[in-house]
Amino acid sequence: MPTEVRTYGDGLLTWVDVVDPAAGELEELAGRYDLHPLALEDVAKHGQRPKLEQYPGHAFVVVYSAGLQEVDLFVGDGWLLSVRERDDAGQVWDDEVARARFERLVGAEATVGFLLYVLLDEVVDGYFTCADDAESMLEDVEELIFGPPPPPGQLSPQEQLFAIRRRLVAYRRLLVPLRDVVAALLRGEVAAVDERAQVHLQDVHDHVLRVVDQLDAHRELVASAVDANLAMVSNRLNQVMKRMTSWGAILLGSTLVAGIYGMNFEHMPELEWRYGYLLALGLMALVTLTGYRFFKRKDWL
């Protein structure tokens, strides 16, 4: 994708945006803005953790969107270079909302610090939607836990809970370092971020803390749901075992009678009695019915 260059405030601010640049594009940008080779190496390798690094002439910030796409930001005096990386699915973070928001307010704040604030704020706000989606998914799984077993082919509640947990862990792994990045910006470690921008960045820092708290709360709910699901599975297994045990005990009496009269002895009582067969059948039926009523009364069947 071609590099987009926009200027604001009568040339006081230049925003250069590029998507998944090739090696030649990176070299051209490095020569134009004197980008440090170590920062360029991080951009080329991908998969960096969220961080803030200081180099002569510029700062280098790595963040991730809620879609887990990497966004690299070079912040210098009067300019900002954003590099949006594609993920494994070929998707890239859409900065149109951030761009429209900045251009709507740029008359009052045509500064690098304010642009950085808008970009970070839009990135962080995306995590609120993901946290809400995870909460909705968790509520759906909780209904499955206390409902009938899922049909064949559908993921079990346990599998869905672990999928939600993996997603929450991935979000938290990206947000906790981002909290440190925003805190460093608030301390004035980047010269291009002025005091007015630091006031706005306090809101970003608050949003990061809130999202992290939400994710921690959801992780606790997932852990509780996993325990509840295991308890329900164990309870269902106990119910099955109770039924099997009950029917085994019910059939034990009739099996005993049939086993006794099935022995091959010549001299046994009732063998030559006319009603012996009917008596044996009646005795087996009586024992079975008595056992069934007993276990039914105990709510084992």
Same domain, 133 and 255: no
250-270 average pLDDT score:
79
Q: Are residues 228 and 85 in the same domain?
A: yes
Number of domains in the chain: 2
- Taking the C-alpha atoms of residue 276 and residue 3, their distance in angstroms, rounded to an integer, is 100
Task: Please tell me the distance from the alpha carbon of residue 91 to that of residue 97, in angstroms, as a whole number.
Answer: 16
What does the pLDDT read at residue 253?
82
Domain boundary among 187, 215, 234: 234
More confidently predicted of 77 and 140: 77
Residues 227 and 253 in one domain: no
Are 72 and 94 part of one and the same domain? yes
Higher pLDDT, 272 or 111: 111
Measured CA to CA, the distance from residue 250 to residue 286 in angstroms comes to 10
284/200 same-domain check: no
The upper half-sphere exposure of residue 75, i.e. CA atoms within 13 Å in the direction of its Cβ, equals 25
- Residue 108 scores a pLDDT above 60: no
Please report, for residues 3, 274, 285, 287, the alpha-carbon distance to residue 278 in angstroms, rounded to integers and kept in the order given: 96, 9, 10, 14
pLDDT band for 275, please (50, 70, 90 cuts).
Answer: confident
* Structural domain boundaries, residue 289: 243-297
Domain limit, last residue, from 202, 234, 266? 234
Calculate mean pLDDT across residues 70-83: 89
Task: Write down the mean pLDDT value for the chain.
Answer: 83
Q: Are residues 113 and 60 in the same domain?
A: yes
Measured between alpha carbons, how far is 93 from 83 in angstroms, rounded to an integer? 10
- Asked whether residue 299 carries a pLDDT value surpassing 80, the answer given is no
Residues 151 and 200 in one domain: yes
Poorest-pLDDT segment among 145-154, 229-238, 284-293? 145-154
CA distance 137 to 144: 11
| CATH code for the domain in which residue 273 is found | 1.20.58
Please say if the pLDDT value at position 289 is more than 80: yes
Mind listing the pLDDT tens digit for each residue in 7-29? 877 777 888 888 888 777 788 88
Do 208 and 83 share a structural domain?
Answer: yes
Q: What's the pLDDT score for residue 60?
A: 92
Q: Are 53 and 201 part of one and the same domain?
A: yes
Instruction: Specify whether 216 is located in the same domain as 252.
Output: no
List the CATH number of the domain containing 192: 1.20.58.340
Q: Choose the final residue of a domain: 214, 234, 254.
A: 234
Assign 139 a pLDDT band (cuts: 50, 70, 90): confident
**Are 62 and 159 in a shared domain?**
yes
pTM of the shown model = 0.74
Across residues 69-78, what is the average pLDDT? Answer: 89
pLDDT of residue 107: 64
Q: Do residues 58 and 80 both lie within one domain?
A: yes
* CA dihedral angle for residue 60, residue 65, residue 68, residue 74, rounded to 10 degrees: -20
Q: What percent of the chain has pLDDT over 90?
A: 4
Q: Give the mean model confidence (pLDDT) for residues 242-271.
A: 80
> What confidence score (pLDDT) does residue 109 get?
64
Q: Is the pLDDT of residue 2 over 60?
A: no
